[in-house]
Structure 1
Amino acid sequence: MSDTPTPYGAAGGLVRVYPARVIERPTPGLVWLHGGGFAAGDIDMPEADHVARTLADAGTTVLSVDYRLAPLPDGWEPPAAEPGRERAGFPAASDDTLAVWDWLHAEAATLGVDPARLAIGGASAGANIAAGAVLRLIANDRALPALVLLAYPTLLAEQPDPDEALRAALDAQPEADRFGRDAVLGMYENYLGGSVVGAPLAAIPGLATADELAEFPPTLIVAGDVDELRVSSEHFARTLAAAGREVEHVIEPGTDHGHLNRPDEGDAASLTLARFAARLAALSS
């Protein structure tokens, strides 16, 4: 495992490389983005480090991106040890992700990675950044991932209300009810530095139409069971299906938002990572 400056290293950015623990090379490669509401999180949190270690142990070389975070929203407590690096809203995190994507392509041989078996993914806000980066690749006719992995993503700024069953589950588990319409909208306004009206599609990937998703890569989405953000992932999955794209949407039983960041709480994180590892292993050159 190593922390490596990337082309955006002048801004303090790093990518942490987790070599696959296998004898045979080349391996699949994965660019991975942690969550944190666009304004929090780091590559040491379990949602980054534990995920990367687990998938590397299963045979994938993982690049965990230390992307630039958005400004802290009003009322958020600053981290105890804030990195000496600028904060910036969209498109900074997306730019950083694409820089790592390009770096992975350029260094594939050195990293022992198969350029035909590259994936991108993330959790929560990181899943948004990953999906948005793919849309930018499509728009610019650039090399696409062979697979997209999204864990409990947020993909819509103006989130539809949950259906009756999900609303009842959230009411019965109020500690999981953290992502109502106002909270989600405020998170995106902070990320964008203003109104979400007219925002770039890469910042709100759930707004993409079927035509705009016509080239989107095969996608696996794992949603939380009692998680209001599930509404946006279900919407995105339906649009991908309408576009004729390969998409699998799984609800991980018994989970609320962020279960990959709590790997010691039951088997849910292990189950989700096993799903991801299986799809990565199935990639063919």
Structure 2
Amino acid sequence: MPETIEQQPGSPFTSEEAIVLKALARAPEKRWWCDYRFLIALCAFLLSLFTSLISAYVSHLRDVHDQQSRFTVALGALQDLNLKRVELLKQYRNTVYEGQVSELITTQVNDALHTAAELGLQLGTNASTTDLVGLATRLYDTGESATAEKLLKFALGAAQNANDESLALRALGFYTIRMGRGSTALKTGEGYFERALDLDQKYDLADHPHLVAWIRSSAQIGWAGALAPTDCAAAQKHFGKGVKILAGAPKSVNFDRARAGAKQQWITGIGGVPGCRPDAGTPPLP
């Protein structure tokens, strides 16, 4: 016979509601892992969350790929404009249009440079070390050192191997010393070069002695070029060490090009500084 409960005066519940509440109170407590309705709802929620995360990740990858494509196009446009500038300036040299052409093409180059820089900053370490270093070098040439430094730090973070890391560290060292002022900037810049010299301790390069020679010679000569305007004696010392490594390196396209560049510095000066030439203790390269 069904249970009946008379409604108590002043009670907020009807007699039927009181019966239901009493039944719930008497029911044994269920463990959550035995509550199938709860488990089904939980699984549905987790599946929905997982699907949302996968969708967001795929969307992010698609956005990165799109930015990389735009970055490549921007760098290509910048390179084409630089080549076009040389061609146009040569074509209109000593004419009444020379100034106008120069101003027009320079504006276009700067616009392309800023577009590429914005994309490079957005991509960060998703861009290649080589592209970021090349772009940062152009920005330093135009005086935008703060943006260039950010790009170089992204370039260092994006390095996938010893050669990439060497390139980024040398660029950071060179511009930190050249653009910085005071002992702090000098110490920081030289720290980058010291790291570049010791990359064989970070990477397993025991089976690649020629790569070690390339990295160390590039670091020493780059270090020399950075110091040349302010400390020629130290620059000569680093240049001599780099030349010694190059002299013992095998013949190859890269080493031959590096030797040719080093030989040129007997004429132009270390790091392009005419007042700082290799000292007499540095034997010329053959």
Which of the five TM-score ranges fits, normalised by the shorter chain? Answer: under 0.3
* TM-score of the pair, normalised by structure 2: 0.27
Structure with the greater relative contact order (CA < 8 A, sep ≥ 6): 1 or 2? 1
Comparing both structures, which one devotes a greater share of its residues to helix? Answer: 2
Structure of higher CA gyration radius: 2
Bigger share in strand: 1
